[in-house]
Amino acid sequence: MAIAKAQPTFVQKVVAAVRRDPQKAGILTVLVAILVVLQVRLLTSSKTGPSPATASMTETTPDKPQGTVSVQAEGGNPLRAWLDQKVPPVDRNLFVVNLEKFPQDSGHIASSAPKTALFWDDVAKSLSLQADVRKERQVLIENLAQQAGQIHLQSTMMGAVPKAVINGDLVGEGSVVACGTGESRVTFRVLKIEARRIIIEREGIKLEIQMK
């Protein structure tokens, strides 16, 4: 008759596993200990339960120091009471600047006015001066043209070096010709000699003399 072999118990299995792998057994022991601690704390907190929060509202008295504010409203909702209050109307225009509170620097304004006046005075003087210069130059051109009318171009000779006969004298380009006598004597420089005409110059003014 065969004898049945007894099965190992749970404790024997655990002991055998610890002997086979001590490192895993140590980790398992730590995890089991943590689980037991958490279970104990959970059971303790469920028995005691959270403490209920209490709030009380006290009325203000004149004996309290300044700075305390108490709000009383029906239904116990101060925020709703504040929102339901009427907004007082604004008694001034927010977009209008009160110049009395922001005085202007009168000294700066007074000093800027003369500068502007001086600027326009300078502009007027400059324009007047330019007009005078143009007028003087126009008078000079008319006088020189009148004096150049005394120069008579008699002939021109075109060649390698152009020549011209002016008032009986043979001259070339760059020569000086004169007209008038005494204090009215005026000289011109011959700039260019062309066929039947010459170009003369004095004081930056150029004049053309045609051969008649």
Tens of pLDDT, residues 39-69: 888 888 766 555 555 444 444 444 544 444 4
Q: Which residues contact 135 (CB under 8 A, 6 or more apart)?
A: none
DSSP 79: H
170 touches 161 (CB < 8 A): no
Alpha carbons within 13 angstroms on the beta-carbon side of residue 31 total: 6
- Condensed to tens digits (0 to 9), the pLDDT of residues 142-201 reads 988 988 888 999 999 998 999 999 989 999 999 999 887 777 788 999 999 999 999 999
Burial class (CB in 10 A: 0-12, 13-18, 19+), 86: exposed
Dist. CA 153–CA 158, nearest whole Å: 14
pTM, whole model, 2 decimals? 0.41
Handedness of CA 142, 147, 150, 152 (dihedral sign): negative
Domain positions in the chain are: 11-40, 150-210
CATH topology of domain 150-210: SH3 type barrels. (2.30.30)
